């Protein structure tokens, strides 16, 4: 599903040049659950941003579902993103002014789905995430775990092929964290490819494969399943 080869990303300021990704290559098959680990500054967030088409590499190739997307413009990236990728963030990143229902509905609005169909899809996914009873609440009225469930609901409502999770349990206690990891595992079992950045060895064990990074390159790969 994902093939990246010799990916380079360099951040330049007036005085300093930082190589975030240094000729990184990797592949992710469809249906895989991959965990990316490494110390702070190793480039894992940069990798996730590029995989999520939120940023573009300076050099290298990125093939997503058979399409070379490395140097897509913003318009094409947004288009690709909304149809194929869902995001789960450490700090949930829900919009405070929208209700739970409206937050989850957001990706469907941008894919042009009609109101009735949107309602049906949102309710279905809220039900699945067991958060339907909070549909009219605002994020600040929910617990951390509930907010992350809403975020996961938003990430999957469009049936994306790929979910990118950036430390999804980082702001949660162990109980809620486990709940979220189980949700992700369920989704993966249903066929969704998941790439997760994490510091937690515990969470990494839910994946099929752990890729460890250092200084912008992959250093080891552990296959768990």
Partner 1 sequence: MIKSFFRLALRNLWKNKGFSSINILGLAIGMASAIIILLWIQHEVVYDQMFEKKDRIYEAWNKASFDGKLMCWNTTPKVLARTLEKDMPEVEQCVRVNWPSHFLFSIGEKRLTVSGRIVDSNFLQVFSFPLIKGNPLSVLNDRHSIVLTEKLAVKLFGSSGDAMGKIIKLDNKDNFTVTGILTDIPNNNRFSDLEYLLPWSYARIRGEDDNNWGNNSTRTYVLLKPNASFTILNTKLKTLKPKYDPSEPKWEMFIYPAARWHLYSSFENGFENGGRITIVKLFGIIAAFILLIACINFMNLSTARSEKRAKEVGIRKVVGAQRSSLISQFIAESVFIALIAGICAIIIVQLSLPAFNELTEKKLFIAYGSPYFWLTGIVFVVFTGFLAGSYPAFFLSAFEPIKVLKGTFKKANARINPRKILVVLQFTFAIILIICTIIIKQQIDYAKDRESGYDKNNLVYHFLIGDIEKNYQLIKQELLATGTAVSVTKTSAPLTESWSDGWGQDWEGKDPNDKTDFNRYNEDGGLGVTAGLKFIAGRDIDLQQYPTDSLAIILNESALKVMKFKQPIGQIIKDNNKQWHVIGVIKDFILTSPYEPTKPMLIYGPKSWFNTIQIKLNNKNSTEKNLSTAETIFKKYNPEYPFEYKFTDLEYAAKFEDEKRIGILASLFAGLTILISCLGLFGLSIYMAEARIKEIGVRKVLGASVTSISMLLSIDFLKLVSIAFLIASPIAWYAMHQWLQDYPYRVGIHWWVFLLAGAVSVSISLITVSFQSVKAAVANPVKNLRSE
Residues that bind partner 1 (CB under 8 A): 45, 49, 52, 54-55, 74-75, 78-79, 81-83, 87, 89, 91, 93-95, 97-98, 102, 106-107, 109-111, 154
Which class for 185: exposed (0-12), middle (13-18), buried (19 or more C-beta within 10 A)? middle
Q: How far is the CB of 175 from partner 1 (least distance, A)?
A: 26
Question: Is residue 175 helix, strand or coil?
Answer: helix
Q: How far is the CB of 35 from partner 1 (least distance, A)?
A: 20
With respect to partner 1, which residue has the nearer C-beta, 52 or 168?
52
Q: How far is the CB of 107 from partner 1 (least distance, A)?
A: 4
Query: Of the candidates 169, 175, 216, which has an alpha carbon nearest to the alpha carbon of residue 38?
Result: 216
Q: And the tokens for 220?
A: 């080891």
Q: What are phi and psi of 2, to 5 degrees?
A: -125, 130
Q: How far is the CB of 2 from partner 1 (least distance, A)?
A: 18
Determine the straight-line distance between the first and last CA of the chain, rounded to whole angstroms. 18
Which helix (H) or strand (E) element contains residue 8? strand 2-12
């Amino acid at each position: 599903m994902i093939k990246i080869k010799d990916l380079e990303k360099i951040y330049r300021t007036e005085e300093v040049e930082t190589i975030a990704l240094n000729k990184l290559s990797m592949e992710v098959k469809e249906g895989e659950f991959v965990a990316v680990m490494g110390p702070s500054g190793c480039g894992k967030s940069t990798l996730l941003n590029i995989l999520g088409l939120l940023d573009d590499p300076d050099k290298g190739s990125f093939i997503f579902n058979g399409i070379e997307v490395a140097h897509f413009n913003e318009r094409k990236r947004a288009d690709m993103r909304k149809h194929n990728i869902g995001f789960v963030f450490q700090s949930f990143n829900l919009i405070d002014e929208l209700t739970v229902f409206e937050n989850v509905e957001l990706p469907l609005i941008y894919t042009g789905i009609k109101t009735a169909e949107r309602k049906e899809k949102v309710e279905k996914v809220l039900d699945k995430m067991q958060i339907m009873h909070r549909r009219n609440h605002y994020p600040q009225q929910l617990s951390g775990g509930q907010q992350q469930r809403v975020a996961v609901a938003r990430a999957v409502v469009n049936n994306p092929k790929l979910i990118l999770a950036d430390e999804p349990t980082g702001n949660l206690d162990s109980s809620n964290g486990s709940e979220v990891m189980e949700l992700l595992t369920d989704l993966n079992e249903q066929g969704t490819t998941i790439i997760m950045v994490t510091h937690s060895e515990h969470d990494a064990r839910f994946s099929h494969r752990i890729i460890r990074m250092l200084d912008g390159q992959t250093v080891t790969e552990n296959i768990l399943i």
